[in-house]
Amino acid sequence: MACIIGAGSIGQLTAELLRRRGLFKTCFIDTRIKKPKRVACTCSSINGRSSYRCAKGVYPESFVRYADLLIITVKAFSVAKIIRDIAPHLKHDTPVVLMVNGFGAQEELKKLTHENRLYLASTSNGATHKKYSVVEKGLGTTYIGPLKHAKEISVIKYFTKSMPSGTYTASIYDELLRKLAVNAVINPVTAIRNCVNAEILNDPDIIREIITEISPILRHLGLNDSPDSLMHRVETVAANTGANYSSMQQDYYYGRLSEIDYILGILIKKARIYGIKTPCIDKLYQQLKNM
């Protein structure tokens, strides 16, 4: 049984991808319900529409203690609370995969269970959802790797195989930092301008300005990609997801909490530690905080 905490776009798409390969039974975990129930889920995939029924349980008592795999796909700012709730009920040997935007939430995982069972994932899969109906926007690559000393045990191999272009890597932090660079450009700019991803390509100056500021921060964090390489990555993602709205744009549009502190906020915090000036992302951060 794969238990997924977070029935948003990525959580629901992940459940659908696991179902397609048939390697796991899946359930969603939700503290807001009082007893286990089943929910009808639909997925409008690139190749057609599918429907299935999936268990939805109240955690931790009903499902978490029996999980073969726990996948956390909530917003980054919710990770700490999730961990506090489930830690007393999770078996010590259950592998946990954290698949969230931004950077920094993985530190909370260390409080959950032994580090040799903790994994991080970075995905470029795209989807939107409304309640229990998810629309697949595109399938990219999903990287899975250990937080520190975890081995690629069989259940993680099955999870990796279930993801289109799933790749296990011992250098998961590099992939997380590359995604952080992409998110640091696309998310705040589209949120402020209330636009789809492709529109940022009309302003290469803002892309270059942000990348120029964050590149030395990322180097301090261990990523040695050149600014040109990171800029090319941002432009490629923006082009490939051109008609999509970023998660941060959607959060601001619908008046929800955003992950700004785990994207620009964490970069600014690290910049202060390293003595790096960041006037551009400072301005973007304040604009978003005032919106």
How many Å apart are CA 10 and CA 140, to the nearest integer?
Answer: 12
Give catalytic status of residue 161 as yes or no: no
Side-chain-facing half-sphere of 42: CA atoms under 13 Å: 7
* Rounded (10°) CA dihedral 220, 228, 75, 164: -120
> Tell me, what DSSP letter sits at residue 92?
T
SS3 281: helix
How many Å apart are CA 14 and CA 71, to the nearest integer?
Answer: 9
Q: Which of 179, 270, 283, 289 is catalytic?
A: 179
Is the peptide bond preceding residue 227 cis, with omega within 30 degrees of 0? no
Side-chain-facing half-sphere of 258: CA atoms under 13 Å: 27
Amino acid in the structure at residue 107: E
Strand order in the sheet with 96-98: 126-130, 133-138, 37-45, 48-57, 26-29, 2-5, 69-72, 96-98, 118-123, 142-146, 166-168
The answer to whether 172 touches 120, Cβ cutoff 8 Å, is yes
Residues tagged active-site = 179
